[in-house]
């Protein structure tokens, strides 16, 4: 388990991270969402022990991570722009990673190179951005660490490669004790992979919730009522987060379980009613609007 307790970090007059409190459970995928400049990279570097916090603690399995070899041995950190030695080829980096991580799987590293179509002898500096990201992901997976920190991991990967990486993550989680933490500015990239999502804004965590819990307690309904009176009666009994109207068709985002929602509309006089699935984007818009923020500006631009 990873725990961030009152974590703060400033660079001169710039407060990059402020009083961050987050608990990341094991064997799930945690998504850290935030715009550029929200503090995602700083949080990951504090979690990895690359930076020393000005205040608070970053704990990995109850161990402070900064200046702690045992804690860092449980982590592989993939930066937004992965660093490789000048003029190194993938096989050179393999030798280095093997010397640092005792559980590094050399055989699997070369198998992944073949699967991803990467030349182990080619100079990495000639690789494209996407190829460098692929190489960093391969190294991270083969390091055998319990935790993998990924900063904008999918940025630079084509859609097919993104799905391939997500599939590899899922396979790793099935086979061993493995927890990816993925930072991204794009909600859509994490839609189908995250179990728990945290929203970072202006250096602080605005929202941190289990995705399934959020999905279970907020519903989206399209409906047409038989009369204005019936519409007014039912809507007054619901906890409505958002209401969009197109003629007689209403699209409602409301709080409550799916069962409660279906029962409420079944008892009403509706000409048409359908409960629709919500996207991660819609859930976050609903959750943050309640807190007075417009996530469309924070995340979606």
Domain boundaries, the chain: 2-210, 217-298
**pLDDT value, residue 190:** 77
Interatomic CA distance for residues 173 and 74, integer angstroms = 15
Q: At what angle do helices 129-142 and 90-100 cross, to 10 degrees?
A: 30
Does 301 score more than 50 pLDDT? no
Per-residue pLDDT band at 22 (split at 50, 70, 90): confident
Per-residue pLDDT band at 185 (split at 50, 70, 90): confident
Average pLDDT over residues 215-244: 88
The C-alpha angle 230, 233, 235, rounded to 5 degrees, equals: 105
Contact between 187 and 33 (Cβ < 8 Å): yes
**pLDDT value, residue 293:** 54
How far is the CA of 240 from the CAs of 17, 112, 296, in angstroms?
Answer: 33, 49, 19
The DSSP code for 279 is P
Average pLDDT over residues 202-223: 79
- CATH fold group of domain 2-210: Rossmann fold (3.40.50)
Length of the chain counted residue by residue? 301
Q: Which CATH number fits domain 217-298: 2.30.130, 3.10.450, 1.10.10, 3.30.70?
A: 3.30.70
For residue range 146-157, what is the model confidence (pLDDT) as tens digits? 999 999 888 778
Could you tell me the two tokens for 226?
């038989």
How far is the CA of 75 from the CAs of 62, 113, 140, in angstroms?
Answer: 14, 22, 9
């Amino acid at each position: 388990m990873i725990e961030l307790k009152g974590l703060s970090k400033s660079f001169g007059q710039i407060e990059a991270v402020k009083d961050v409190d987050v608990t990341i459970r094991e064997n799930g995928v945690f998504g850290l969402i935030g715009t550029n400049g929200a503090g995602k990279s700083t949080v990951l570097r504090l979690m990895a022990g690359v930076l020393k916090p000005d205040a608070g603690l970053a704990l990995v399995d109850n161990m402070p991570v900064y200046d702690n070899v045992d804690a860092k041995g449980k982590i592989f950190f993939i930066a937004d722009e992965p660093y490789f030695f000048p003029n190194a080829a993938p096989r050179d980096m393999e030798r280095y990673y093997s010397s640092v991580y005792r559980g590094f799987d050399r055989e699997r590293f070369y198998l992944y190179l073949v699967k991803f179509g990467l030349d182990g002898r080619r100079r990495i500096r000639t690789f494209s951005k996407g190829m460098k990201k692929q190489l960093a992901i391969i190294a991270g997976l083969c390091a055998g660490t319990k935790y993998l920190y990924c900063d904008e991991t999918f940025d630079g990967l084509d859609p097919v490669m993104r799905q391939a990486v997500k599939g590899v993550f899922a396979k790793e989680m099935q086979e061993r004790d493995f927890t990816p933490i993925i930072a991204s500015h794009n909600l859509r990239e994490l839609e189908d992979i995250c179990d728990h999502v945290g929203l970072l804004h202006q250096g602080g965590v605005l929202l941190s919730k289990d995705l399934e819990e959020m999905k279970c307690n907020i519903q989206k309904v399209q409906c047409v009522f038989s009369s204005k009176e019936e519409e007014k009666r039912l809507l007054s009994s619901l906890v409505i987060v958002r209401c969009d109207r197109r003629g007689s068709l209403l699209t409602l985002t409301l709080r409550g379980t799916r069962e409660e929602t279906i029962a409420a509309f079944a008892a009403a006089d509706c000409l048409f009613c359908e409960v629709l699935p919500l996207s991660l984007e819609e859930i976050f818009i609903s959750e943050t609007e309640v807190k007075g923020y417009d996530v469309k500006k924070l995340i979606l631009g």
